[in-house]
Structure formats: C-alpha cells, structure tokens
Amino acid sequence: MTNPVSTLEIARWDTPLESAAAAAATLELERGSVLFLPRLDFALAASERRFLSPRWLEGTAKNVSYDPRRAHIAHTSATSHDRAQLVEMMARFSQHARALVTNVCPHYQDKMSYGLASFRPVETRGRETSRKKDDTRLHVDTFASRPNQGLRILRVFSNVNPDGAPRVWEIGEPFDAMAQRFARRVPPPTPGSAWLLEKLHITKGRRSPYDHIMLSLHDTAKRDDDYQRASPRTHVEFPAQSTWMVFTDRVMHSALAGQFLLEQTFYLPVPAMLDERYAPLRILENIYQRQLA
Ligand SMILES: O=C(O)CCC(=O)C(=O)O
Ligand SMILES: [Fe+2]
C-alpha cells in the first residue's frame, strides 16, 4: 500500500503556504492522505494545563464539545471562571485550526464552514462502548443525527498530551476499495424512514440516500470482525505536540490509543474541491449509478 501519510514541516498556524505548495497539499488531502504536521504544536498556557484531566467532563460524557459559531461549550463540569477559561482555550484552538486550513487550503477559504470542536481527555485504549460506537475499529466518519447530503468532513487534530504519549491510529484501505467491498451489503432505506427520523428530531434535517449509505458502510465495517482483524492497514503514531489534518469521511481510520486531543471539524461542499472525483459522494454515485444527494 502507498504511504497514507504526507508530511508538511510547517511550524506556525498562521503562515500561508506558497500557492503551488498549497495546491499540492490540498490535492494530497483530497486524494486521501493524512497531512501530518510534526512541528505544529498547539501550546497550552501554564494556567490551561489543569484542563488536562477527565475531571472536567460532565457525567458520562467522553468529550467536551465546543461550537465556535455560538461560542458555546457543552458536556463539561467546569463552572464560572474555569468554564470561561476552558471556552477561551477551545475558541483559540478553533481559530488556529481555521487559520491552518485557510493557509494550507486557500482554495476552500470562503466555502468551508465550522462544525463542532472537541476536547478528548479520556484514554482511548480500553474504553468500553458498543461496536458501532467503537472508534478503535476502522471506519469512515458520518454523523447519524446530522445528515450532510455529501458535504465533506475535514478535521484538524492536535495531540496535547503533556507526558509525551502519542495518539496511535491505523489507516485502512482506500475508500473506493472499502465501498466496493461493502456496497452489496447496504440495505435499501425503509420507505418513509428519512421523513420520520427528521419528524421525530432524531436527525437534524433529512437523511439523503448518501447519508444512508455512509452510515451503513460505517456500521457494516465496524461490525465485521474479520474485516477489522484482517483488512489492510498502516499503523501511524502522532507524537505529542503534533497536529494532523484529514478528510475523515474518506480515509478509513481507527484510534487505538492516546489521551488529550483537540479536534475541530469543518464542512466543505463537494463543488469547492479541487477535484470532485475524490468525494465519497461521487465515488458512491459511480458505484450505484444514480444521484445520491
Ligand atoms: O480520537 C481520535 O483519535 C479519533 C477518533 C475518531 O475516529 C474520530 O474522531 O473520527
Ligand atoms: Fe472517526
């Protein structure tokens, strides 16, 4: 398998790339590489180090989430001054992530939009969940309650582990191979179900055929023990104080180990890509020979 990771030696969040380098990096991302930025550190202030603990989670939550559009934080136990400081830290990460994507992918600038950010203070290894929710199993990202009609999911991750522990991932086979393998196992949606899910507010908006297929690919791959054991993959370690970017709706990935991660999600319309042929929407439309969103 070709190397799924492509490395870029930038050390600042806010420096634009030369336009040829930016186009090359953007195309690498679109073709399914993880763009690894080993020298790009999201530095925490001394006063922010105390947030590196699961105790700031609320109840059984696994992540603190932050919505940069509303400056709203959720799933945290932090109150008053702590809460304001945690918001500040996450808002700064969101802004840095946006500056980074704008500099590496200037072509996307006016077309991409913010999704949620998350802070993940729980050790990933050995965390108990159902197979469907288990991100230590290879999958592509798709959000069951947020249908997106083919919008690309581009995510920026920073490992902020203070003890030098890497974030350990596996990168799976190319999207096309995975989709060909599982396409026959995608059941047709139950008639009326997309309407009903929206009506009952289980989904935010209407689930398109694209969303249905992506969810089914996600669940089918995760439930398939043979696939999880034996499919091709590359082991990747993202060191502490490094950053990486990846279209997680295209790149099969799993997170095996690591603690203390910041993540920001962006959405990008398919026509804003340099080459739409690499969009899961277009690949699936080719396989199914019909329009899916
Ligand atoms: O927590 C991680 O390292 C990544 C988990 C994952 O699969 C994701 O965020 O999409
Ligand atoms: Fe994922």
Give residue 146's domain range: 14-288
Ligand 1 binding pocket includes 253 (Cβ within 6 Å): yes
Give the chain's mean pLDDT: 96
* Residue 78: inside a domain: yes
Structure tokens at 10: 């930038």
Phi-psi label, residue 226: left if phi above 0, alpha if psi -120 to 50, beta otherwise: alpha
Task: Name the residues around ion ligand 2, CB cutoff 5 A.
Answer: 141
State pTM to two decimals. 0.97
pLDDT for res 127: 82
* Residue 8: inside a domain: no
Between vectors from CA 161 to CA 160 and to CA 164, what angle results, nearest 5°? Answer: 125
Residue in the structure block whose two tokens are 């947030």: 51
* Residue 1 scores a pLDDT above 70: no
- Beta-bridge partners for 137: none
* Residue 68 scores a pLDDT above 80: yes
pLDDT digits (tens, 9 = 90+) for 171-205: 999 999 999 999 999 988 888 899 889 988 989 99
State how many domains the chain has. Answer: 1
* Residue 7: inside a domain: no
Residue in the structure block whose two tokens are 């186009």: 23
Report residue 157's pLDDT band, with 50, 70 and 90 as the boundaries: very high
Q: Residue 33 CB: number of other CB atoms within 10 A?
A: 21
Average pLDDT over residues 205-230: 96
* Residue 293: inside a domain: no
Helix (H) or strand (E) holding 170: strand 167-171
* Residue 177: inside a domain: yes
- Domain of 236: which CATH number? 2.60.120
Specify the length of the chain in residues.
Answer: 293
| Ligand 1 centroid distance, CA of 117 (Å) | 12
Nearest CA to ligand 1 atom 4: 255
Is 138 buried (19+), middle (13-18) or exposed (0-12) by CB count in 10 A? buried
| Ligand 2 centroid distance, CA of 141 (Å) | 5
Average pLDDT over residues 59-76: 96
Structure tokens at 225: 């023990």
pLDDT digits (tens, 9 = 90+) for 50-60: 999 999 999 99
Distance from C-alpha of 89 to C-alpha of 83, rounded to nearest angstrom: 10
